[in-house]
Amino acid sequence: MPLVQSTYKSPFLFRSAHLQTIYPALFRRVPLITEDRERITTPDGDFLDLDWHIKKYSKRLVILTHGLEGNSRQPYMQGMAKVFSNQGWNVLSWNFRGCSGETNRFLKSYHSGATEELQTILNHVFKREQFTEIALVGFSLGGNVILKYLGDRAKTLDTRIKSAVAISVPCDLKSSSLRLEDSQNLIYMKRFMITLRKKIREKMELFPGHLNDENLDRMKTFRQFDGAYTAPIHGFTSAEDYWTRSSSKPVLKNITIPTLLINAADDPFLPENCYPMALARESERFHLEIPFHGGHAGFVEFGNHKTYWSEGRALNFVEETRGKL
């Protein structure tokens, strides 16, 4: 019955969900761990940029997947990379299309259900033949991609993939998207919309006549943006169709490897539907941990070699569940 009692204790001044969410994004500094960049070609002729930290003696690899409008070099990605690297793991921190600092080649980019991109990464990894043990760690949108991948491909999952950790995941995309329309989340929506609008304008220049810029400047919600752009660009009929078909929650029951979902109870992005407690109680492999505090991808901790709690927790889970398939 893997509904886990959380060990996270928030610093006294960080019991605000918004402070937990905003502080790391603005003020955290982490040295770059995954420094070696590699560009690979996708099956459809686009490209993905991968950042590596390789230890030639190790056969263990952790693959890190970032969140919406993030990239491989975000502090939360490099913080996780540092913790795993210090314990002898190779690290691969990869970028979704259009997130590495260069616009991708095609009209389509990435979305919350883009599990085929993770499969492309894994296929590339498997060709190296160095790694016999692989762990997957994802944040927010990236966490949803990992969970959906594990659920969709449970029966054909490569045996080298041993465990996974997903942090601050909107596993029910519709309810989370609607939650972000709340006035308390206006600051986050504004920030997301700035970069999303920029990318749409770049695509309009590259593909004239393919996108309509009507109301783009007035869009304030994912419901509007996903309906106008994300859905039609990626083959969905509407925002709701995109949310339904891309959410990981319906397939969590299929997961066959030790997997931990960490969603803080005070995460401002996540409504009740994003805490699948009943499923965790019934599952042997899917673990759910709900700290009282932590905000969205926060889990701030001081005095622990500049490591945040979620990073140490992810490493411990992966290490503790080794060989327990």
Domain of 315: which CATH number?
3.40.50.1820
Does 305 score more than 90 pLDDT?
A: no
Q: Is 66 a catalytic residue?
A: no
What percentage of residues in the chain have a pLDDT greater than 90?
93
Q: Within this chain, do residues 162 and 200 fall inside the same structural domain, yes or no?
A: no
Q: Within this chain, do residues 300 and 214 fall inside the same structural domain, yes or no?
A: no
Q: What is the pLDDT of residue 121?
A: 98
Q: Is 234 a catalytic residue?
A: no
Q: Which of 10, 267, 283, 293 is catalytic?
A: 267
The one-letter code for the residue type at 118 is L
Q: What is the pLDDT of residue 192?
A: 97
Q: What is the pLDDT of residue 246?
A: 98
Does 297 score more than 90 pLDDT?
A: yes
At which of 213, 246, 279 does a domain end?
Answer: 246
Q: Is 140 a catalytic residue?
A: yes
Q: Which of 111, 234, 287, 296 is catalytic?
A: 296
Q: Within this chain, do residues 159 and 193 fall inside the same structural domain, yes or no?
A: no
C-alpha torsion sign, points 24, 104, 94, 56: negative
**Domains identified in the chain, total number:** 2
Q: Within this chain, do residues 76 and 158 fall inside the same structural domain, yes or no?
A: yes
Q: What is the pLDDT of residue 56?
A: 86
Let me know if residue 41 belongs to a domain. yes
Q: How confident is the model at residue 303 (pLDDT cuts 50, 70, 90)?
A: confident
CA distance 92 to 61: 7
Contact 223, 192 (CB under 8 A): no
Q: Within this chain, do residues 151 and 181 fall inside the same structural domain, yes or no?
A: no
The one-letter code for the residue type at 321 is T
Does 317 score more than 70 pLDDT?
A: yes
Residues 6+ apart with CB under 8 A from 294: 8, 10, 17, 20, 168, 262, 264, 265, 266, 267, 309, 310
* Length of the chain measured in residues: 325
Lateral strand order in the sheet of 90-94: 3-4, 286-289, 259-262, 161-167, 133-139, 60-65, 90-94, 47-53, 36-41
Q: Within this chain, do residues 269 and 302 fall inside the same structural domain, yes or no?
A: yes
Q: How confident is the model at residue 45 (pLDDT cuts 50, 70, 90)?
A: very high
Q: Within this chain, do residues 56 and 161 fall inside the same structural domain, yes or no?
A: yes
Q: What is the pLDDT of residues 89-132, one digit of tens each?
A: 999 999 999 999 999 999 999 999 999 999 999 999 999 889 99
Let me know if residue 58 belongs to a domain. yes
Strands 36-41 and 47-53: antiparallel
Q: What is the pLDDT of residue 129?
A: 84
Contact 81, 29 (CB under 8 A): no
Provide the 10 A C-beta neighbour count for residue 56. 6
Mean pLDDT for the stretch of residues 127-152: 96
Nearest alpha carbon to residue 124 among 89, 92, 163, 79: 92
Does 1 score more than 80 pLDDT?
A: no
Q: Within this chain, do residues 280 and 213 fall inside the same structural domain, yes or no?
A: no
Let me know if residue 325 belongs to a domain. no
Q: Within this chain, do residues 60 and 139 fall inside the same structural domain, yes or no?
A: yes
CA distance 309 to 316: 11
Q: What is the pLDDT of residues 10-40, one digit of tens each?
A: 999 999 999 999 999 999 999 999 999 999 9
Residues 6+ apart with CB under 8 A from 102: 49
Q: What is the mean pLDDT of the chain?
A: 96
Q: Which of 6, 112, 140, 310 is catalytic?
A: 140
At which of 194, 215, 246 does a domain end?
Answer: 246
Residue 239: both structure tokens together: 């925002």
At which of 222, 246, 270 does a domain end?
Answer: 246
CA distance 127 to 135: 17
Q: How confident is the model at residue 185 (pLDDT cuts 50, 70, 90)?
A: very high
Q: What is the pLDDT of residues 198-251, one digit of tens each?
A: 999 999 999 999 998 888 999 999 999 999 999 999 999 999 999 999 999 999
Residues of the domain holding 92: 3-172+249-320
Strands 161-167 and 259-262: parallel
Q: How confident is the model at residue 324 (pLDDT cuts 50, 70, 90)?
A: low
Q: What is the pLDDT of residue 323?
A: 62
Q: Within this chain, do residues 271 and 159 fall inside the same structural domain, yes or no?
A: yes
What percentage of residues in the chain have a pLDDT greater than 70?
99
Burial of 103 (0-12, 13-18, 19+ CB in 10 A): middle
